[in-house]
Amino acid sequence: MDCYVILHKDLSQIKDMPWLHQTHTNKKTKKYYITNTIKPRMSKIKFDCTITFVYNTINYEDFIENQIDSNKIIKIYTPKLPIFTLENSINRNEHWDLIDKECNDIYWTQACKSGIQYHNNAILNSKKIVKIMAEKELNLT
């Protein structure tokens, strides 16, 4: 399942909460889907952004079109990692090593690299990317 990570400043739903789990109805499919929005908290850095995770491409398209202020989107991280299948789990580390060599904007977690992949794309991008963005915005680097 693809996971899109949206870094944005649309705080209209999350307000001051640290975390928000929402259910939306996809306008095309008429089916429900969920999103998770998280406000990162990193030491004393104040950062008025949040991250929303949207699962499946058709739901991502609905979310972008109907659920978020597109003017407040900073960056969208699209799925880059392979979802494990029976075929590609054989010699799995060879697959990961190829990705490591080709990408400079993916940050691994030990859980993901060892094969636990429930939120693979979201975990990989979220905390480190937001920390880097916050540091750049505050000229801390």
What is the model's pLDDT at position 65?
A: 97
Amino acid present at 141: T
Q: What is the pLDDT along the chain (141 residues), one digit of tens a residue?
A: 577 889 899 999 988 788 899 999 999 999 999 999 988 665 566 678 888 989 889 999 999 999 999 999 998 887 766 566 666 666 766 766 766 666 665 554 444 444 444 444 455 555 556 666 667 766 654
Q: Could you give the CA distance from residue 115 to residue 112 in angstroms, rounded to a whole number?
A: 5
Q: Could you give the CA distance from residue 122 to residue 78 in angstroms, rounded to a whole number?
A: 10
What is the model's pLDDT at position 44?
A: 64
68's tokens = 């978020």
Tell me whether residue 109 is exposed, middle or buried, using C-beta atoms within 10 angstroms of its C-beta: 0 to 12, 13 to 18, 19 or more: middle
Residue at token pair 């490591």: 100
Are the CB atoms for 78 and 129 separated by under 8 Å?
A: no
Q: How many CB atoms lie within 10 A of CB 12?
A: 9
Q: Could you give the CA distance from residue 69 to residue 63 in angstroms, rounded to a whole number?
A: 10
Residue at token pair 């659920």: 67
What is the model's pLDDT at position 114?
A: 46
